[in-house]
Amino acid sequence: MRCPNARLRMVPGYLRPEGMWRLISQITRAARTVASGMDVSATADLTEAIRLDPQNALPYSWRAMAQYHLKAYDKAWQDVEMCRQLGGDIPESFLKELMEASGREE
C-alpha cells in the first residue's frame, strides 16, 4: 500500500509524524525548563528543536528568552532576528527587557 503522504516527504521542512512528536517534545520540555529557571538545559532542548525544524520560528523565540536569562545577549538578539525572519513574533515586553539589559537598540 502506498503512503498517502509520500509527496509531502519531498517538501523541504516536512517532518514525518515521529519527527514532529520529537520536535513537540523538545519544545515542551524546553518551555518547562525555562519556566523553572533551568536555562542551560532549555537552550540545549531548543537547539535540538531548531535542528529538527529550522524553519519553525517558535524555538528561536523561546531560545532568545533562555539566552537572555543566561545574560548571553548577543545570542538572544541573533535568535530574535532569526525568529522575525521566519515570520515569528517576539513579545514587546521581552524586547524592552532585552534592550535595557543589553544596552542595545533593535
Q: Domain residue spans in the chain?
A: 15-102
Instruction: Quote the cell numbers at residue 68.
Output: 537572555
Q: For 33-84, what is each residue's pLDDT tens digit?
A: 666 666 778 888 889 889 888 999 989 998 998 899 899 999 999 999 999 9
Q: pLDDT exceeding 70 applies to what percent of the chain?
A: 65
Q: Which fold has domain 15-102?
A: 1.25.40
Helix intervals (H) in the chain = 17-35, 39-52, 57-69, 73-85, 92-102
Cβ atoms of 56 and 48 closer than 8 Å: no
Q: What is the Cα–Cα distance from 93 to 50, expressed in whole angstroms?
A: 24
Q: Which residue has the cell 523565540?
A: 61
pTM for the model: 0.70
Instruction: Quote the cell numbers at residue 78.
Output: 541573533
